[in-house]
């Protein structure tokens, strides 16, 4: 009889624990839809992780026939799954007879804690992208990258603050460096001559949404959105936004005529990813997609992939897109 009671007690404890955890995660899920609140915004960034956790909780709750627990967790699981599933739907894209392909590599080097310049050089030499956008970059990294940058005669550098760099095989017709906020974050606005078209490009790195930086990040995202809206198409906005596409603050880019290049390719998380950060010599897959390439509607994204890990806490993003000529 004691063994039966012990089994029943263990079942109840397990059920209550799973329901409690599921309720917390589901509550965080719902909180993530509340705009302009710092904690709610942070909660919105982890939808991929919520799906994994809720999925793992849902199975044992169904097994123990917990109706209330299953309902709570199922609601959270569905709410998080829908935007992730929608990312797998390919957007409609016109394909004129004449198209110009552009390849772009977007990467946050985390130079403050990462000295593996050689890994980025290998990636550049392998991919040979037409355009390279680097975030968190300094002069030491640029000096060591030079052997892999011989094919990029056009460059724009903003090395104050966290540092930005733009390298292009295409001529840069115009480039401007602007700054924003207490952290003096730079951003690059450039116009590239791509075939018969001019590609307008913004490279940006808004501050992290900590308590002191949350409002500033949102203000800069709004500013970038407004700047992009004023630009002629085709256009791209590239960088580490410190914000996922699941955040309410991200939605405003749709009003600028831009869409997420990961649309049609599914979720592609990029952070936190540095090998050995948690377990020595072990790569932990990231769960938060904060590194972005946004494109205007006339730009057809043919390929988008993230990785490999280059020792930074961010994975690189590689995009191949075609522009009408």
Domain edges within the chain: 2-86, 99-324
Question: Facing residues of 100 across strands?
Answer: 323
Determine contact, residues 64/15, Cβ cutoff 8 Å.
yes
pTM score of the predicted model:
0.92
Residue 276: pLDDT band with limits 50, 70, 90? low
Topology annotation, domain 99-324:
Deoxyribonuclease I; Chain A (3.60.10)
Q: Is the dihedral of CA 245, 249, 253, 254 positive or negative?
A: positive
Task: Write the pLDDT tens digit of every residue in 35-84.
Answer: 999 999 999 999 999 999 999 999 999 988 889 999 999 999 999 999 99
Task: Write the pLDDT tens digit of every residue in 210-241.
Answer: 888 899 999 999 999 999 999 999 999 999 99
Number of CB atoms found within 10 A of residue 117's CB:
19
Task: Give all strands (DSSP E) within the chain, no chain letters.
Answer: 99-108, 131-135, 154-158, 164-168, 172-180, 185-194, 197-204, 235-240, 258-260, 291-296, 300-306, 317-324
């Amino acid at each position: 009889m004691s063994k039966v009671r012990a089994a029943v007690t263990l079942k109840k404890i397990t059920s209550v624990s799973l329901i409690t955890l599921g309720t917390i995660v589901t509550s965080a899920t719902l909180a993530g839809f509340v705009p302009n609140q710092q904690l709610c915004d942070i909660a919105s960034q982890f939808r991929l992780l919520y799906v994994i956790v809720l999925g793992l909780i849902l199975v044992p709750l169904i097994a123990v026939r917990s109706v209330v627990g299953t309902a709570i967790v199922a609601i959270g699981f569905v709410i998080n799954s829908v935007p992730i599933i929608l990312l797998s739907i390919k957007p409609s894209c016109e394909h004129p007879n004449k198209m110009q392909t552009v390849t772009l590599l977007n990467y946050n080097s985390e130079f403050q804690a990462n000295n593996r310049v050689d890994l980025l050089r290998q990636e550049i030499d392998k991919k040979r992208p037409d355009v390279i956008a680097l975030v968190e970059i300094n002069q030491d990294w640029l000096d060591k990258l030079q052997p892999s940058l011989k094919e990029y005669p056009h460059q724009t550098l903003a090395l104050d603050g966290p540092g930005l760099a733009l390298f292009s095989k295409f001529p840069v017709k115009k480039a401007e460096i602007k700054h924003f906020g207490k952290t003096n974050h730079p951003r690059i606005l450039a116009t590239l001559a791509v075939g018969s078209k001019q590609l307008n490009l913004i490279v940006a790195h808004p501050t992290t949404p900590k308590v002191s930086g949350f409002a500033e990040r949102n203000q800069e995202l709004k500013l970038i959105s407004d700047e992009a809206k004023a630009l002629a198409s085709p256009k791209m906005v590239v960088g580490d936004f410190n914000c996922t596409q699941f955040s309410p603050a991200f939605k405003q880019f749709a009003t600028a005529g831009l869409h997420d290049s990961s649309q049609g390719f599914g979720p592609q998380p990029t952070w936190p990813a540095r090998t050995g950060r948690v377990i020595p010599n072990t790569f932990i897959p990231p769960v938060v997609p904060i590194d972005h390439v946004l494109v205007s509607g006339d730009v057809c994204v043919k390929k988008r992939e993230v990785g490999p890990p280059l020792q930074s806490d961010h994975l690189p993003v590689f995009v191949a897109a075609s522009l009408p000529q």
